[in-house]
Structure formats: structure tokens, C-alpha cells
């Protein structure tokens, strides 16, 4: 039986992946490093900001900055904050889907590779913060997706806050990337993919794939948690 829904954030609730890419590009440009859109979506999507810069160091594209990654993350966060305040766009169908879950008393949470301040900033601007019981972000975990740590921590925090004993198989996860789907599977939760970022073929790990959250009903969600 369905007892909770956990959402990824970027590419699921808000269309901000391009904003992240633009922020990363501006930081990297200082060092004459180009991050292509292909590289970003193929290699970096779903990773924490720190993990992205660590990969650039490992690839010798960002040399002599091993000890300054914190500074680079801070720069990227400030740039993203500005873009998020002015250009972030909610993905079509999200608000109606959240309202449907709320009307059916289904607790909701967010588990994202973004930073908590970024998530809260956008949720506040969109007036969506009240929907979510818990937010677990990059600054709350030591391992990003595809590791299941974030989803398991999210469920633990939900149970603690709500005084419930929801189990992983009673949770639906809404994701838009294979890393997120892998993490949900590893956490023994039921992943649903939305094709906001990747194609159907790239999201085959999902138990159900939709083009828009509006296509999902409570019956669809319960069917996965039988």
C-alpha cells in the first residue's frame, strides 16, 4: 500500500538543470574550462556540486584547486541562487499532482542532489514548501545518487517527524535520471520516471514511465505498492 512519495527536485519539480549548467559554466570559465551540455547530462547530472568539481580535478581539467573546492562550490551556489530567483520554472503538472497526493493524505518529501538553501529558495518562491514534510539535500548526505543513502535518510526523517513506521516498499520515488532510479531501486522503493530530462529508453529501470505527472492517478501509485 502506498504510504509516502519522495521526489527528486531538479528535473522533476522544477526545470532548473539548465540553470545549474549555466552556473557551473560560469565558474569553470574562470579557468578556461568548457562544460558541454552533453558532458553535463551524461556525467554530472544527479551529482552534488562538490562531486562535479572533484571530477574536474580528477580529469586534470581543474588543476591546483584540490584545496579550494569549497570556494568553487560557494561561487556556483551564489550564481545558481541568482538564476533561481529570476528564471526557475515549475514543471507542468507538478502542482496538480501535489494537490492530489495531499487530498489523499499521502506524505511527501524531497531527496535531491541540490543544496538545501537552493531547494528552499525555489519552493518558497513557488509557494510549495508546505507540501513537503522533509527535505534531504546534498548537504545532508556523504554519498550522492546512485547510492541509496539519501532516500533511506529521507524515509527515516519522515518516520521520525510523523511518528510512523513506513517501510521502503511502501514508498514511491519520482525521478528523472538513471542515477536516481538506481538509488531508489537500491533503497527497495518503487521508482517512477518522468521524461523531463531523458528519453524512455534511458529510463528503463523505472517501474513506470510517464511524460507528465498529470498522467498518474492514486490507483497507479497504489498498484506499484501492492
Q: Can you give the pLDDT at residue 57?
A: 87
Collapsing DSSP to helix, strand or coil, 127 comes out as coil
CA distance 21 to 76: 10
DSSP conformational letter for 104: T
Q: Can you give the pLDDT at residue 31?
A: 87
Q: Can you give the pLDDT at residue 65?
A: 63
Average of per-residue pLDDT across 118-146: 91
CA distance 165 to 188: 15
Mean pLDDT of the chain: 92
Whether pLDDT at 175 is above 90: yes
- Residue at grid coordinates 538513471: 178
Q: What is the pLDDT confidence band of residue 91, given thresholds at 50, 70 and 90?
A: very high
CA distance 92 to 113: 21
Three-class SS of 13-45: CECCHHHHHHHHHHHHHCCCCCCCHHHHHHHHC
- Residue at grid coordinates 558541454: 36
- Residue at grid coordinates 527497495: 188
pTM for the whole thing?
A: 0.80
CA distance 31 to 24: 12
CB-based burial label for 212 (10 Å; 0-12, 13-18, 19+): middle
Whether pLDDT at 3 is above 80: yes
Q: Can you give the pLDDT at residue 226?
A: 79
Whether pLDDT at 18 is above 90: no
Which domains are delineated in the chain? 4-15+89-224 (3.40.50.1000), 17-87 (1.10.150)
Per-residue pLDDT of 180-200, as tens digits, reads: 999 999 999 999 999 998 899
Q: What is the pLDDT confidence band of residue 66, given thresholds at 50, 70 and 90?
A: low
Average of per-residue pLDDT across 97-109: 98
Q: Can you give the pLDDT at residue 195?
A: 96
Average of per-residue pLDDT across 29-42: 90
| C-beta of residue 110 within 8 angstroms of C-beta of residue 132 | yes
CA distance 21 to 35: 8
Amino acid at each position: 500500500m502506498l504510504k509516502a512519495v519522495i521526489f527528486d527536485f531538479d528535473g522533476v519539480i522544477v526545470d532548473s538543470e539548465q540553470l545549474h549548467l549555466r552556473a557551473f559554466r560560469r565558474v569553470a570559465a574562470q579557468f578556461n574550462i568548457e562544460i558541454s551540455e552533453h558532458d553535463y547530462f551524461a556525467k554530472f547530472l544527479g551529482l552534488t556540486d562538490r562531486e562535479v568539481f572533484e571530477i574536474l580535478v580528477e580529469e586534470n581539467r581543474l588543476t591546483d584547486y584540490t584545496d579550494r573546492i569549497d570556494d568553487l562550490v560557494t561561487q556556483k551556489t551564489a550564481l545558481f541562487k541568482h538564476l533561481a530567483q529570476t528564471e526557475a520554472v515549475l514543471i507542468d503538472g507538478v502542482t496538480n499532482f501535489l494537490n492530489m497526493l495531499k487530498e489523499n493524505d499521502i506524505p511527501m518529501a524531497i531527496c535531491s542532489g541540490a543544496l538545501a538553501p537552493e531547494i528552499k529558495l525555489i519552493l518558497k518562491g513557488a509557494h510549495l514548501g508546505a507540501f513537503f514534510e522533509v527535505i534531504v539535500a546534498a548537504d545532508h548526505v556523504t554519498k550522492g545518487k546512485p547510492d541509496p543513502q539519501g532516500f533511506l535518510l529521507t524515509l527515516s526523517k519522515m518516520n521520525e517527524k510523523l511518528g510512523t513506521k513506513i517501510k521502503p516498499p511502501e514508498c514511491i520515488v519520482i525521478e528523472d535520471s538513471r542515477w536516481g532510479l538506481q538509488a531508489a531501486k537500491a533503497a527497495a522503493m518503487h521508482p517512477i520516471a518522468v521524461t523531463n530530462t531523458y528519453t524512455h529508453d534511458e529510463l528503463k529501470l523505472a517501474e513506470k514511465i510517464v511524460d507528465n505527472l498529470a498522467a498518474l492517478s492514486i490507483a497507479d501509485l497504489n498498484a506499484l505498492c501492492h
